[in-house]
């Protein structure tokens, strides 16, 4: 009886993490090694190289390309809103928004012209707005599409009494997740009010799905459950995998020169 209970428990845990799909495997070869990958809510895949974005549909069929050498290397892409994709050129402190055809839907936004010369991080927000993290003032700010200031948190180092050094952030369901490797993931509401700290340290990046944090560490895809504080793990023996994403009920395995979706 005890053995059967253990089997049932393990099955429930496995099912709560992921379900294998019957969809065919997708293989995409990168145009350059060390490319970056983004996936939107519709399953579209974006391969980001030095100054180019290549878009594939959910079946792995090439759709569109975008590239420009005018503003240097693309540092970050946020596809939270597939109709308004944020592209950040950190070296030039510029932001560009693309539509779903990878066509520029706005003029280039210079953060320096609105008073921010040391923006470390940028991400999309709801209602066509966006967040920036200002390293100079240790402050989060949110702007609308007209560059009107909506939110300013003030100096987080002083407010929270910690030495924050964030390396990644993303918004999900009206909460902003600011990753500080030495402290964990700091969570703020849409108004910039500090909500909580998720005790996951030393992360480079993560993905939020229904409030749970998914991240790849030590050849293992981990799911930190926000409600129970439990962590569910799926281990990989393939040591060539750089990272694994879980989104749209599929696994996205990223290698040095390619992406495999299953």
Residue 3 has pLDDT above 50, yes or no: no
Q: What is the total count of domains within the chain? A: 1
Q: What is the pLDDT of residues 178-237, one digit of tens each?
A: 999 999 999 999 999 999 999 999 999 999 999 999 999 999 999 999 999 999 999 999
Tell me if 239 is assigned to some domain: no
Among 106-110, 138-142, 149-153, 175-179, the minimum mean pLDDT is found in: 106-110
Residue 14 has pLDDT above 50, yes or no: no
Provide the CATH number for the domain around residue 135: 2.120.10.30
Q: Are 67 and 29 in contact (CB under 8 A)?
A: no
Q: Are 222 and 232 in contact (CB under 8 A)?
A: yes
Closest CA to 172 of 41, 84, 76, 36: 41
- Domain of 203 in residue numbering reads as 24-208
The DSSP-derived string for 12-35 is HHHHHH-----SPPEEEE-SSTT-
pLDDT value of residue 9: 43
Tell me if 56 is assigned to some domain: yes
Tell me if 130 is assigned to some domain: yes
How high is the mean pLDDT of the chain? Answer: 91
Sorted by sequence, the CB contacts under 8 Å of residue 189 that are 6+ apart come out as 174, 175, 176, 195
Tell me if 66 is assigned to some domain: yes
pLDDT value of residue 12: 46
Tell me if 241 is assigned to some domain: no
Tell me if 62 is assigned to some domain: yes
> Nearest 5°: CA angle at 113, between 112 and 118?
15
């Amino acid at each position: 009886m005890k053995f059967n209970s253990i089997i049932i428990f393990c099955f429930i845990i496995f099912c709560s993490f992921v379900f294998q799909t019957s969809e065919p495997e997708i293989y995409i070869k990168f145009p350059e090694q060390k490319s970056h990958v983004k996936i939107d809510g519709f399953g579209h895949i974006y391969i980001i190289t030095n100054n180019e974005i290549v878009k594939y549909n959910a079946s792995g069929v090439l759709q569109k390309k975008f590239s420009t050498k005018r503003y240097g290397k693309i540092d970050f892409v946020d596809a939270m809103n597939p109709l308004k994709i944020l592209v950040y050129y950190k070296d030039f402190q510029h932001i560009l928004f693309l539509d779903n055809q990878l066509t520029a839907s706005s003029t280039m936004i210079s953060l320096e012209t609105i008073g921010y010369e040391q923006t470390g991080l940028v991400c999309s927000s709801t209602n066509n707005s966006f967040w920036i993290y200002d390293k100079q003032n240790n402050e989060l700010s949110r702007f609308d599409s007209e560059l009107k200031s909506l939110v300013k948190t003030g100096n987080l180092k002083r407010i929270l009494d910690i030495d924050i050094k964030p390396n990644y952030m993303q918004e999900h369901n009206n909460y902003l997740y600011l990753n500080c490797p030495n402290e964990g993931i700091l969570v703020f509401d849409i108004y910039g009010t500090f909500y909580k700290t998720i005790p996951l340290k030393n992360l480079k990046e993560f993905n939020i799905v229904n409030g749970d944090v998914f991240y790849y560490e030590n050849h293992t895809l981990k799911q930190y459950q926000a409600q129970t504080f439990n962590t569910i793990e799926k281990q990989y023996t393939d040591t060539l995998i750089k990272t694994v994403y879980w989104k749209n009920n599929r696994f996205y395995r990223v290698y040095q020169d390619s992406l495999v979706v299953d």
